[in-house]
Amino acid sequence: MLARIWHSWNLVDVGPSGRTALVTKKKQTPTKKPERILYVEGGGDHNSSLRSECRRAFSLMFQKAGITEKPAVRPMGGRQQAYEAFCNELAIDENHTWLLVDAEELAPALKPGDSADPWAHVKARDQWDRPRGATDEQLHLMNVTMETWLLCDRKALRKTFGPKINENKLPLVNSSLEALSKEVINQALNDALKETSAKKYNKGYHSFKILADVDPIQLHRTLFWADRLLRELGAPIITEGSASRQPDPGTSP
């Protein structure tokens, strides 16, 4: 007859002879959560410093948005490299991978409740096919460019460029920002900076410095496509309703 006696540290087998044998219990290893990864266009192709700034800027913005499980931001330089890296990762993990690129050309200026189809946009512009297993929620657009996001927060712009920035040269902060072309946005920035020490906008030097200071609430209230990304990543400032998305009729404070 074989009896088993439980001890707090192991299982003891007691046989007919009275001898005991220790049976090691199988250790329970905690299940590791899969890494959340956001592949981003930008950060330069061979510029490690710029890529570090890119990661820091997005990380700070996601932190301010209250995202507890922030994705690892992977700046890929060009948009094609970002797309290809996303496709490769998607083949490994379909559920925790996202892609963020500039729309470059105007994507639909949608309203809350509208259905977004970002894959149709990149198919028409870049001839990118939707990878097998990818959902609409895994592709996100900066419509029309990241500078659209920067224009949402005048306080962040003033912090970088100082009080001499001419905000009258900038378009109003409202949902119509996503209906402005890349050329119009860049020209407005350059016109506004003529009297500052910077004189003009330098994307490589200025963009991520400003983005690190952007208030995600401004993005949430103003831009459909930026709000869509924050919602997908689970920003509680949005999903818990602490701020309602309303177009801002004027400039931010």
- What average pLDDT does the segment 110-128 reach? 87
- What average pLDDT does the segment 230-252 reach? 60
pLDDT band of residue 246 (cuts 50, 70, 90) is very low
Q: Please give the pLDDT value at position 45.
A: 72
Q: What is the Cβ-side half-sphere exposure of residue 153, based on CA atoms within 13 angstroms?
A: 24
Provide the pairing of β-strand 3-6 with 11-14: antiparallel
Question: Of 242, 209, 247, 201, whose CA–CA distance to 226 is shortest?
Answer: 247
List, for residues 171-224, the tens digit of each pLDDT value: 999 989 999 999 999 999 999 999 999 999 999 899 999 999 999 999 999 999
- What average pLDDT does the segment 29-33 reach? 62
In angstroms, the CA 94 to CA 143 distance is 25
Contact (CB, 8 A) for 118 and 140: yes
Q: Please give the pLDDT value at position 40.
A: 98
